[in-house]
Amino acid sequence: MSISERKQKEKEALRMLILNGAKKLFVERGIECTTIRSIADEINYSVGTVYVYFKDKNAIFHDLHSIGFQELGQYFSELFAIEDPMKRLRKMGFVYIKFAMENSEMYDLMFNLKAPMDYLEEQKNNLWPEGTETYGYLKETVEECMMQGHFEAHNSEALSFMIWSLVHGMCCLEIRHRTKGIKFSSPETILSEGYNEYLKILEKM
């Protein structure tokens, strides 16, 4: 490995250290209560070092957000080979849940944490490209199902939103341990059992 390659690798390692430290604090304290100084303290580096890599915490949040959706996209890649849209739709939920459970902090950051108002102001003209792409893939699959005679008389946009909301809600309840506070007969399996009940409904549509 050349000197330049080693330096580039070290820079990327430090950048990821900053991002992981920030993610931990964002989830624990909230984004508004996290500062560049607190991120620097978390990783035992100077504030100046953090500013070398990111101009502010909005830039950190943006990079983490993008990384999260790239990781979700990698999970979704196994769906592309499934030609039958109903089979793809059923599998999509399993894959989504798997991502959420295996990356709970990232999932919280992507979907549950309130973004800083100045970040939202910066992004208002760009809408939400990552979320739009994910939702678009779900909606496209639902529309393919409709073309094959499923979901008769349904609105594809509203139905896609409902499906996303249903699976997202189950993931959030599990990640935030709300499923442990209710006397389910099998709290450790209620997420998978709940999703299987949803699949039974799909079979009838």
Region 17-34 average pLDDT:
90
Distance CA 66, CA 133 (A): 12
For tokens 């989830």, what's the residue? 27
Structural domain of 22: 1-54
Residue 139 lies in a domain: yes
Q: Look up residue 78 and give its DSSP letter.
A: G
pLDDT > 80? residue 21 = yes
Question: Could you give the number of structural domains in the chain?
Answer: 2
- pTM comes to 0.84
| 74 and 45 together in one domain | no
Residues 14 and 162: their CA atoms lie apart, in Å, by 40
CATH number of the domain to which 33 belongs: 1.10.10.60
Q: Which pLDDT band, with edges at 50, 70 and 90, does 116 fall under?
A: low
Contacts of 180 (CB under 8 A, 6+ apart): 187
Terminal C-alpha separation, the chain: 57
pLDDT tops 60 at residue 117: no
Indicate if 103 and 17 belong to the same structural domain: no
Determine contact, residues 42/7, Cβ cutoff 8 Å: no
